Amino acid sequence: MKEKFYKYIEALQNTITSQLEKTDGKAVFREDIWKRAEGGGGRTRVIENGAVFEKGGVNISAVHGALPKSMQAYFGVAEADFFACGLSLVLHPVNPMVPTVHANWRYFEMYDKKGKVVDQWFGGGQDLTPYYLFDEDVRHFHAVCKKACDAHHPDFYDSYKRKCDEYFWNSHREEARGVGGLFFDYCKPTDNMGMEDWYQFVTEVGDSFLESYIPIVKKRKGMKYESIHKEWQEIRRGRYVEFNLVHDKGTLFGLKTNGRIESILMSLPPTVQWKYNHHPEDNSEEFRLLQVLKHPKDWTGE
């Protein structure tokens, strides 16, 4: 399974970066191939200063070796070896009318001292972080997510949408990072879903990513904006940074397993503001966004 899934994310990285370059029309991805001393490595691709994307990355990695003691405690296991691979992407647009997007699809195995697989699971998801709220864009994003989920189980979308709202929650701000999407983790064999079934589900979600995001980018990338809109974008980017550095488990795992720091922090936006005690004007577009972030809503039942 690990070889099969790694081949999949290699191909998906090529597909996504190719399409993003076409959408941007100016910048191209810079590629770094890196090795991890303890075992494994990855292929990082970063785009910067484009016509559409101010900064973004589409990274794949496959790392393996002894599970660090800090992660042994986290998983509640004794000494063990592990393998982890995945694709992770974050795109920060130039135009504040275009939302930031994040996605990740991953696979994990754990082994005993004899090298036997004792645990394995899939995880992943995708979520949208707008700066200005266009309801039709959010409904489109969620509709694509739901379509991918419904092909595998009628309860998947509602369950993973709820988990996404719960996970991407800045508890110290009492607000969501964005307008959600999907989040699933520890997808293990059950009576109804074997690992091959989970593979089919995760890859369907991955294959649907471009359909969920690119139409929104094309619709909004040419909209006019002013410095006040850019300022709000940078303030909200600060909330994005706070989540990634304070709460995100993927960032923690990368740091605890001696991952490549440039690839781990690729998700951080290039320009950010933290204004002291900033509050938007009542009934403004900025205020309307905050009300939705404080009270996550159903985007497919409207």
- What HEC string does 147-188 produce? HHHHCCCCCHHHHHHHHHHHHCEECCCCEECCCCEEEEEEEC
**Amino acid in the structure at residue 88:** S
Strand-strand pairing, 117-129 and 81-93: unpaired
- DSSP letter at 280 equals P
- DSSP letter at 281 equals P
* Catalytic-role residue among 92, 102, 142, 229: 102
Name, in order, each residue with C-beta under 8 angstroms of 144's C-beta and a sequence gap of 6 or more.
208, 211, 212
CB neighbour burial string for 188-201, b if at least 16 within 10 angstroms, e if fewer: eeeeebebeebbeb
Strand-strand pairing, 81-93 and 100-111: antiparallel
Q: Is 64 a catalytic residue?
A: no
d(CA 49, CA 45): 14
Helix (H) or strand (E) holding 136: helix 135-150
Can you state the percent helix, strand and coil of the chain, rounding each to 5? 40, 25, 30
Q: Which residue has the tokens 């204004």?
A: 275
Instruction: Give the start-end residues of each E strand in the chain.
Output: 30-35, 40-48, 53-66, 81-93, 100-111, 117-129, 169-170, 175-176, 181-187
Catalytic residues: 102
